[in-house]
Amino acid sequence: MDYAKVYGQMHEQWPKLFAGNSIKNHVEAIAELVKECRPTRLLDYGSGKGYQYLARRAHEAWGGLLPYCYDVGVRQLSEKPEGLFDGVISTDVLEHIDEPDVDGILDDIFSSVLVRPECDLGKSFVFLAIACRPSKKLLPDGRDAHLTVRPPEWWAGKLTKFERPGLIIRAVYDTGNV
């Protein structure tokens, strides 16, 4: 699937869709990671339009460190920022990826992390929020926008290969259960 084309079309057709607001339920958890890890560079991988930082000022909860935004569906943010980051945030992204592409996207996310060995500089982190339920949105071709709906255990199994000293991987799962 050409994610840039499909999501670019959706971003342009519906200006309020994928604004970046899915981070709102995770601001406190990210703030805890920022406090613990003391990153100097953050990346929001699949940031949407970035309104979470422009309008909602979500980053102020973690000391004002503004993440670099990257989203293949937003023309202005479709170039992945250069360099490595000691904190990567990705909310409401992975479930939108076709299952055969999940490993490649995870590789790309984790290749963006500068893993710092445990020392006075702190650790690095990756924060992932993944929906494990069908979406309320449809893709232009009529498919559910959540292309990979798998249980938390499946996702956790995918993440184990990225575990290493100096890196905190925090994943939260939305199963639709309250």
What's the average model confidence in pLDDT over 107-124?
A: 84
In this prediction the pTM is 0.90
Where do the DSSP E strands lie in 68-158?
A: 68-70, 87-91, 124-131
- Name the pLDDT band for 56 (thresholds 50, 70, 90): confident
With 70 as the cut, is the pLDDT of residue 46 above it? yes
Name the residue type at position 91.
T
Q: What is the pLDDT of residue 41?
A: 95
Mean per-residue pLDDT, 34-51? 90
Residue 121: per-residue pLDDT: 63
User: In this structure, are residues 27 and 64 in contact, taking their beta carbons and an 8 Å threshold?
Assistant: no
Q: Whose CA is closest to 12, among 65, 63, 57, 78? A: 78
Q: Can you tell me the mean pLDDT for 9-34?
A: 80
Residue-averaged pLDDT of the chain = 88
**C-alpha distance from residue 36 to each of 29, 59, 66, 120, 124 (Å):** 11, 15, 17, 11, 9
Which is more confidently placed, 50 or 51? 50
- Rounded Cα–Cα distance for residues 64 and 66 (Å): 6
pLDDT average, residue stretch 157-166: 95
The pLDDT > 90 percentage for the chain reads: 60
Task: Look at residue 135 and tell me whether its pLDDT is greater than 60.
Answer: yes
User: What pLDDT sits at residue 104?
Assistant: 97
Q: Is 38 exposed, middle or buried (0-12, 13-18, 19+ CB in 10 A)?
A: middle
Please determine, for residue 33, whether its predicted confidence score (pLDDT) is greater than 70: yes
Q: Is pLDDT at 14 greater than 80 in this prediction?
A: no
Please identify which residue in the block is written with the tokens 């981070």: 23
**Which CATH code for domain 3-174?**
3.40.50
Identify the DSSP state of 23: G
Res. 178: pLDDT tops 60: no
pLDDT over threshold 90, residue 87: yes
For residue 129, the Cα-to-chain-centroid distance in whole angstroms is 7
CA angle 14, 131, 129 (to 5 degrees): 95
